């Protein structure tokens, strides 16, 4: 509906929000505020998906990361009295190690971005990409899809077993 300039403006706005809120997530003292900024950050990422015309991905991003993951995090913060209402430090003494690890990660990702050949398709995107994603997940990519489901199931059972009070 709007021109490229407008979507570029939105892209810079969203990127700014994402970066600022991500910095807040790791630097604020109040851990509840950190969780809320994480919600803002993940929501803005969904906005980027909208700009890329991946509406299904955007909706799922909000549904899973905002609706489930963040709410469970906030829930855990509210239930843990040691975390609640105290100004706790987010960093510890291992700053030097952390800098090396982060720098390594940054270099690796920058390198892989640089070497990857990005495919550019000239034809417009299919009108209904939800249908295409669904079909591909059930046909070509059914094995990875099922493997991921089993990993998640195993993680869930593991969490329940670890949290159980009585021994099995």
| Stretch near another protein under the rule CB under 8 A, chosen from 53-61, 106-114, 116-124, 141-149 | 53-61
Q: Does 144 engage in binding with another protein (CB under 8 A)?
A: no
In eight-state DSSP terms, residue 62 is I
Distance CA 136, CA 159 (A): 31
DSSP states along 5-57: HHHHHHHHHHHHHHHHHHHHHHH-S-HHHHHHHHHHHHHHHHHHHHHTT-HHH
Stretch that binds another protein, among 61-69, 98-106, 111-119, 147-155 (CB under 8 A): 61-69
DSSP 131-142: HHHHHHHHTTTH
Asked if 55 is part of the footprint of another protein (rule: CB under 8 A), the reply reads yes
With binding defined as CB under 8 A, does residue 17 bind another protein?
A: no
Judged by CB under 8 A, the chain residues 86 through 125 that form the site for another protein are none
What are the tokens at 148?
A: 């991921």
83 binds another protein per the rule CB under 8 A:
no
List of residues contacting another protein (CB under 8 A) = 1-3, 30, 32-33, 36, 39, 55-56, 58-60, 62-63, 66-68, 70-72, 74-75, 78-79, 85, 127-128, 130-131
């Amino acid at each position: 509906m709007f021109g490229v300039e407008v979507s570029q403006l939105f892209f810079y706005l969203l990127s700014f929000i994402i970066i600022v809120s991500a910095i807040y997530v790791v630097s604020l003292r109040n851990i509840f505020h950190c969780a809320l900024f994480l919600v803002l950050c993940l929501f803005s990422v969904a906005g980027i998906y909208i700009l890329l015309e991946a509406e299904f991905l955007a909706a799922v991003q909000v549904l899973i990361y905002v609706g489930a993951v963040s709410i469970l995090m906030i829930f855990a913060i509210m239930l843990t009295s040691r975390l609640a209402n105290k100004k706790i430090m987010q960093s510890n003494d291992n700053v030097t190690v952390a800098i090396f690890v982060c720098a390594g990660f940054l270099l690796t990702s920058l390198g892989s971005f640089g070497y990857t050949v990005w495919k550019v398709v000239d034809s417009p995107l299919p009108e209904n990409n939800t249908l295409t994603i669904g079909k591909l997940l059930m046909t070509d990519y059914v094995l990875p899809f099922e493997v991921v489901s089993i990993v998640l199931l195993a993680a869930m059972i593991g969490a329940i077993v670890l949290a159980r009070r009585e021994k099995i």
